[in-house]
Structure 1
Amino acid sequence: MQINNQSRDVFYVSDGTAITCETLGHVVLGQFPFIPNEKAFPFVETPDKVADVVKEIETSYQRNGVKPLVFFSIVLPDVRELLLKAPAFSYDVLASIVQRVKDDTQMEPQPKLQRSRSVGKDSDTYFDRIAAIEYTLAHDDGITLKGLEEADIILLGVSRSGKTPTSLYMAMQFGLRVVNYPFIAEDISLMRLLPEFEIHRHKLFGLTINPERLTEIRENRLSGSEYASTEQCKLELDTVEALFRREAIPYINTSSLSVEEITTRIMEKAGMKRRLF
């Protein structure tokens, strides 16, 4: 059998959000040269739901002639066993760690569905995260500069430098209230900070990007425009980076970084505590 080394079907299956499976899967698959064709299946909590997943796995196997990779986290034994019967290479992302903790602590684990973390005693943190997401969406792309005193961090940068996806990731993953502001033409020409930001200097953090990468991103949005031209991109970036240096605003280059890496570096440089949900 000839295996296609260029791509491989990959499934993330969980009785929760599947975010843990995806995160660990991305770390692992990043070590291999093939392109993953990924699909996530969250909240697979019943035999009926897992049966649908198994059908998709079987279809993948029949279509490609090679078993897909399945990263999973399933608590309920009957659902787990049904999934393991599928024609796939399956990896329980928590099993080995749970077993080692059990051995080291001499305590029996008490499995529960992952999404139960969002209710009960953790409901306050759950609703804090929802409030953070709502705040971040309301302050996306300079929509409003009201309520900056509630922000945990304020991201600054030129248009399309990665502010919005980073803001939303920080809100969803860590419950942070994030404002992001794109420098507009007036800001570029005056090369100054808005007065609203002056009293919040300790919250400011800059994002920059290589001119070539910015041109590529903008071309995908507005091909052939001055906005996407190499000259305009370079002018904006040079001006904004000079502003960051002059105003002593910490900043990072996002060109080759994932949103997870961008967030981690921002939080590390800003001395922010990680609050996972």
Structure 2
Amino acid sequence: MTETQTDTVGAGNPSAPTVFFLSDSTGITAETLGNTLLTQFPGHPLERRTIPFITTVEQAHEVVAVIDQLAAAGPRPIVFSTAVSQDVRSVLARSRGHFFDLIGAHLGQLEDALGSSASGQPGQAHGVGDAVRYQSRMAAVEYAIEHDDGQSLRALERAELILIAPSRCGKTPTTMYLALQHGILAANFPLVEEDFASLSLPKPLLPFANKCFGLTSQPVRLSQIRQERRPGSTYASLNQCTFELRNAEDMYRANNVPYVNSASMSVEEISATVLQRMQLHH
């Protein structure tokens, strides 16, 4: 059994309950679902702990002992579990924490709906699982790395998506997320001041205009991000950011390139928007 400490809010606050994300696999699903629920309760100080790979009853008892110790000393922990094994789930459920079974609560209903029994095998969501899909995602990651920030124009015709935007608008993390999570062959291309001499797309992108999607931002936000990279530079100035964003948006509109303002969006939200508007589905 291994343990990872995730983002901690209110660390050292004895009144802050500990949130446990428990799993017999990586813990990604428990974190994602649990944190989604917790976003509905902003302002609560919390300490988060992820414990993945709880694969035996003995390990489950060890985890329960930790939870019960915290429950005896302070506020009852909140426990999100995505353990698939019935034996492991039953042990974890006996902890003194507030226990939320994110998998077991629905397995019975799904078994009824499908007319068959669940396999009970952990690790299917984030393991290698479907080898073909896994290889597809890894190939997409390699493609995204090669085509990051316009480094390569080779095989652009293979791209399913080309993200375009001024520097620091979120192109790279978005293409990497789309590749790793969805297996999308995504390139990204920076828009620089020379590209704004006309409203036309940069020449290498002209044959692939239908694959382009634009990102924009708020000038103040973009200036703040650029200041962290090159403080005091023209590149990071508010005037320069305003100029680039205004011209980028004009270019998008002139070429019927769909775009979204990424200033207040997470990578997941940007990616979901791109997938929906570009009708990309794997």
**3-state SS of 1:144 partner:** coil
Range 187-196 or range 51-60, more displaced: 51-60
Task: Decide whether the 8 Å contact of 1:158 with 1:182 is kept in 2.
Answer: yes
Task: Decide whether the 8 Å contact of 1:222 with 1:228 is kept in 2.
Answer: yes
Amino acid in the other structure paired with 2:79: V
Q: Report Cα offsets for 1:58-82 as digits up to 9, x if no partner.
A: 676578x223322221122443344
Amino acid in the other structure paired with 1:18: G
Range 54-63 or range 106-115, more displaced: 54-63
Report whether the alignment pairs 1:15 with 2:30: no
CA distance in 1, matches of 2:265, 2:203: 31
Matched residue, 1:143: 151
Match of 2:36 among 27, 30, 33: 27
CA distance in 1, matches of 2:168, 2:220: 12
Range 90-99 or range 173-182, more displaced: 90-99
Query: Over aligned residues, Cα RMSD in angstroms?
Result: 2.9
With over 3 angstroms needed to count, the CA separation of the structure-2 counterparts of 1:115 and 1:43, relative to structure 1, is farther
Equivalent residue pairs, number = 269
Match of 1:171 among 179, 183, 186: 179
Range 181-190 or range 156-165, more displaced: 181-190
With over 3 angstroms needed to count, the CA separation of the structure-2 counterparts of 1:231 and 1:271, relative to structure 1, is same
Instruction: Please report how far the alpha carbon of residue 170 of structure 1 lies from its aligned counterpart in structure 2 after TM superposition.
Output: 0.9
With over 3 angstroms needed to count, the CA separation of the structure-2 counterparts of 1:127 and 1:230, relative to structure 1, is same
With over 3 angstroms needed to count, the CA separation of the structure-2 counterparts of 1:75 and 1:235, relative to structure 1, is same
Match of 1:102 among 101, 108, 111: 111
Q: Report Cα offsets for 1:114-140 as digits up to 9, x if no partner.
A: 2487456x2111111111112112222
Q: Report Cα offsets for 1:173-203 as digits up to 9, x if no partner.
A: 1111111122223324555422221111111
CA distance in 1, matches of 2:59, 2:147: 37
Match of 2:78 among 52, 61, 69: 69
Matched residue, 2:89: 80
CA distance in 1, matches of 2:228, 2:47: 22
CA distance in 2, matches of 1:84, 1:24: 18
Task: Decide whether the 8 Å contact of 1:17 with 1:115 is kept in 2.
Answer: no
Alignment of 1:1-277 (within 5 A): 8-33=17-42, 34-46=44-56, 50=60, 57=67, 65-115=74-124, 118-119=127-128, 122-189=130-197, 192-273=200-281, 275=282
With over 3 angstroms needed to count, the CA separation of the structure-2 counterparts of 1:43 and 1:223, relative to structure 1, is farther
With over 3 angstroms needed to count, the CA separation of the structure-2 counterparts of 1:51 and 1:164, relative to structure 1, is farther
Instruction: Please report how far the alpha carbon of residue 13 of structure 1 lies from its aligned counterpart in structure 2 after TM superposition.
Output: 2.3
**Residue segments in structure 1 that go unaligned for 5+ positions in a row:** none
Q: Report Cα offsets for 1:1-52 as digits up to 9, x if no partner.
A: xxx7996533322222322222222321111122544343333324576567
Matched residue, 2:7: none
**Residue segments in structure 2 that go unaligned for 5+ positions in a row:** 1-12
CA distance in 2, matches of 1:105, 1:68: 35
Amino acid in the other structure paired with 1:66: P
Q: Please state which structure has a larger fraction of its residues in helix.
A: 1
Amino acid in the other structure paired with 2:104: A
Instruction: Please report how far the alpha carbon of residue 262 of structure 1 lies from its aligned counterpart in structure 2 after TM superposition.
Output: 1.2
Range 51-60 or range 175-184, more displaced: 51-60
TM (norm. structure 2) is: 0.82
In percent, how many aligned pairs have the same letter? 37
TM (norm. structure 1) is: 0.83
**3-state SS of 1:113 partner:** coil
